[in-house]
Amino acid sequence: MNAPIKILIADDHQMFIDGIKALLNEITHIQIVGQAINGKEVIEKLNNYSPDIVLMDIGMAELNGIETTEWITKNYPKIKVIALTMYDDHNRIMKMLKAGVKGYILKNTSKNELIEAINAVSSGETYLTKQVTASIIKESSKPNHNPISLLTKREIQIIKLVVKSMTSKEIADELGLSELTVTTHRKNAMQKLELKNVAALVKFSIDNNLSEL
């Protein structure tokens, strides 16, 4: 039997934390191991609870969700972060994606979608709700939009290596990631940029001076 997915909930509203606990406590393959009311507390509790996933609110005091996600991505790269927030504006979405979140879902999501997001992120995939995807697409369709702003730091890093003709396995070895994770990031990047093959990716990289980023 597989070990349960360990979850740490980070939110500054106790009532919301209690609600998430009530939703997930009956799910046998998910285990709530702790909670935190701000980013500082999240960081303090990571060693004690060793979560697989942090459900991260954005608008918290003493390190907000963006700052905390950046810190986790840098210092605990194996811990995955899912933004669970009421904010669906493009600016915050992109900041969280660039900070390293693996999922972005809204607080009005259904129980089933929350579980689906946890399962997907736990498996190495990226999960965005339809509302979040729609916000990204709407912004990308505006005149003079810079498509690079759609990409996370990790996606840009992987694209640079793909352009150097490195395979997913070689990239995985280079970055200390699993091959599945590299493939997922590569797929997500190409979907965001609406590119269908490596040749198009190389052209995009040259046209946008991606090597200089």
Q: Note the pLDDT tens digit of each residue in 99-142.
A: 999 999 999 999 999 999 999 999 999 999 988 888 877 766 66
pLDDT value at residue 119: 95
85, 88, 163, 200, 206 from 136: Cα distances, Å: 16, 10, 25, 21, 23
- Please say whether the beta carbons of 106 and 160 come within 8 A: no
- Checking if the pLDDT of 64 tops 70, the result is yes
For the 5-139 domain, the top CATH level (class) is alpha beta
C-alpha torsion angle, residues 7, 40, 89, 140 (rounded to 10): -80
pLDDT value at residue 213: 57
pLDDT value at residue 143: 57
pLDDT value at residue 38: 94
pTM: 0.68
Domain boundaries, the chain: 5-139, 146-212
Residue 89 neighbours by CB under 8 Å, 6+ apart: 135
**Fold type of domain 146-212:** Arc Repressor Mutant, subunit A (1.10.10)
Q: How many residues does the chain have?
A: 213
The 10s digit of each residue's pLDDT in 19-47 is: 999 999 999 999 999 999 999 999 999 98
Question: Which residues lie across from 35 on neighbouring strands?
Answer: 9
